[in-house]
Chain A
Amino acid sequence: MAGNRALYEQVILEHNKKPRNFREMPDATRKLEGFNPLCGDHFTLFVKLNGDVVEDVSFSGAGCAISKSSASVMTTLIKGKTIKEAEQLFATFHKMVTAPPDAPIDEESAGRLAVFAGVREFPVRIKCATLAWHTLLSLLDGKASPVSTE
């Protein structure tokens, strides 16, 4: 079980079961859908922007434990951050999940994202872990067409 205990960290299971900010946002300033056609993961992200600050963020939809918990954790980290800070967080996250399995994890910069480090050992799951992030960045970038991982 070693591999998957690392993948399905308790935090991930917990966010999967009780996702944070898991709701639609009728007064969102922007919203965007993201798909992972191969797995059928499908989320909609909502943000309320105040200037370049993400005042509120939420998501709805369905997907595997990795994609859902990643979206959930992301919303908790992004709320109150500027667009630039969000982009930096994603860069850190992306670097971590796409690194070789034996690369050291920079716990300090990864912070609460470090629970997703196990994804590195399962390349097919990287798309699951990054779906919400890709969708968010497109959304913050002002894109209107749905995001697909394919």
Chain B
Amino acid sequence: MPPRRPPLTTADIARIRDDFPVLHVRRGGKDLVYLDNAATSQKPRLVIDTERHYYEAQNANVHRGMHYLSEIATNAYEEARKKVQRFINAPLTCEVIFTRGTTESINLVAQTFGRQNLHEGDEVLISAMEHHSNIVPWQMLCESCGAKLKVIPINERGELKMDEFEKLISPRTKIVSVVHVSNALGTINTVKEICAIAHKHGVPVLVDGAQAVPHLPIDVQDIGCDFYAFSGHKMCGPTGIGVLFGRAERLNLMPPFMGGGDMILSVTFEKTTYNGLPYKFEAGTPNIAGVIALGAAIDYLDGIGMDRIAAYEHDLTQYGTQVLQSIEGVKMIGTAREKAGALSFVMESAHAHDIGQLLSDQGVAIRAGHHCAQPVMQCFGVPATARASLAFYNTKEDLDALGAALRKVNEVFA
């Protein structure tokens, strides 16, 4: 354990903001207020420069050439894998598989583990607060093999009903797949407890960490999950790169996802021998620049410290909640006791889309809609919400700007 460092100060945040060129885009004579981090985070110069440097000085295919550049590229690529391993405390480097993102990671598990292990009448257990990317892949699987999708309900605060969860596990349950932090509600789920309960019944667990990795220190061994999926672009990395962590003993038993180059040891027309981990699941030329730049994003986050980021954002989340609650007619959607990142709300005076539009014109970027979580909207009986979502480079001033812009919405729609 590195020594504990002091909390992030206003001066630290000001320095951090200077690392992000986009945060200085001007709107109406002011810096843009970016509160749509759950959709995608901004990128620090280190990540942008690393990607450029790769193309300018290192570009070659990996695991193929004997030449100088290929060696450099391969080393950088594999070095990034080790960074990811350390970042989420995976036991083995080969348990880190690079994918296009959370969506692909979940589809990978559904199409390999799922197809291999689920049969007619078996069950997949997800929750009522899943992103569509943790619903649809399982529905597709269920459709193909005759399995059933079961759903853990949520309470009025937007927390999982844990007592119902255990009751929903049956002898037919073959996998539990739940979100760590909800993108629509901000709820932090007790995934460690979920894994312990599921494992008691011998059921493996996939955790969708897309909204957790950017905000909290992640330790997959402590959580105890079998699979953990996340996206680079939500944690200061580039788009098109993501990770699936899987426990080696599970991954080894699973069939490959896609066939092609790199995932094989030898190919003849009679028989192909698959490569070992992690290459078995990385068919074709990967997103090399993306992987290396994701490694840079991890260096950047580590440089600040995920524990300090989590503590700073915790305060910011509370402050943002206060700001929102001070505005007439605002109703928070998702009031879980443990929240990170996302503040979803509706207003009496205006529909979410009208809020989003008026805010945009005042230089405040938020998201309005169903946030790829239509079932969550149905739970709360709203067609859509407005959502401000935070990152460590946001400030109380950003949230004050949000508050002022919302008061303006009330004025316009009064």
Interface residues of A (CB under 8 A from B): 1-4, 7-8, 13, 16-17, 38-42, 62-66, 122, 125, 128
Of the candidates B360, B369, B413, which one forms a contact with A38 in the assembled complex, judged by CB atoms under 8 Å apart?
B369
Of the candidates A3, A13, A40, A122, which one forms a contact with B412 in the assembled complex, judged by CB atoms under 8 Å apart?
A13
Q: How far is the CA of A40 from the CA of B352 in the complex (A)?
A: 10
Task: Output the residue of A7, A40, A66, A128 with the most chain B CB within 10 A.
Answer: A40
Q: How far is the CA of A4 from the CA of B352 in the complex (A)?
A: 15
Interface flags for B347-387 (1: CB within 8 Å of A; 0: not) read 00011111001101110000001100000010000111000
Q: How far is the CA of A38 from the CA of B413 in the complex (A)?
A: 22
Of the candidates B353, B362, B370, which one forms a contact with A64 in the assembled complex, judged by CB atoms under 8 Å apart?
B353
Q: How far is the CA of A8 from the CA of B413 in the complex (A)?
A: 9
Contacts of A65 in B (CB 8 A): 350-351, 354, 413
In the complex with contacts A3-B361, A39-B384, A42-B383, A16-B369 CB distance below 8 A: no
B214: min CB distance to chain A, Å: 26
How many interface contacts (CB-CB < 8 Å) are there between A and B? 49
Contacts of A40 in B (CB 8 A): 370, 377, 382-384
A41–B361 contact, CB under 8 A? no
* 27 residue pairs bridging A and B, Cβ less than 8 Å apart: A1-B361, A1-B362, A3-B361, A4-B357, A4-B361, A8-B354, A8-B358, A8-B412, A17-B413, A38-B369, A39-B351, A39-B353, A39-B369, A39-B384, A40-B377, A40-B382, A40-B383, A40-B384, A41-B383, A62-B383, A63-B383, A64-B354, A65-B350, A65-B351, A65-B354, A125-B353, A128-B353
Q: How many positions in chain B have a CB within 8 Å of any CB in the partner chain?
A: 18
Interface residues of B (CB under 8 A from A): 350-354, 357-358, 360-362, 369-370, 377, 382-384, 412-413
A39-B369, A64-B354 known; 10 other A-B pairs, CB under 8 Å? A1-B361, A1-B362, A4-B358, A8-B358, A8-B412, A16-B413, A39-B352, A39-B383, A64-B351, A65-B351
Closest to A62 in B: B383
In the complex with contacts A8-B412, A16-B413, A40-B370, A63-B351 CB distance below 8 A: yes
B369: min CB distance to chain A, Å: 7
Q: How far is the CA of A125 from the CA of B357 in the complex (A)?
A: 10
Task: Output the residue of B354, B369, B370 with the most chain A CB within 10 A.
Answer: B354
Contacts of A38 in B (CB 8 A): 369-370
B92: min CB distance to chain A, Å: 43
A7–B357 contact, CB under 8 A? yes
Contacts of A2 in B (CB 8 A): 361
Across the A-B interface, the 10 shortest Cβ-Cβ residue pairs: A40-B383, A64-B351, A4-B361, A64-B353, A65-B354, A40-B384, A64-B354, A1-B361, A39-B353, A3-B361
Contacts of B360 in A (CB 8 A): 4
Q: How far is the CA of A62 from the CA of B412 in the complex (A)?
A: 19
Contacts of B370 in A (CB 8 A): 38, 40
A123: min CB distance to chain B, Å: 12
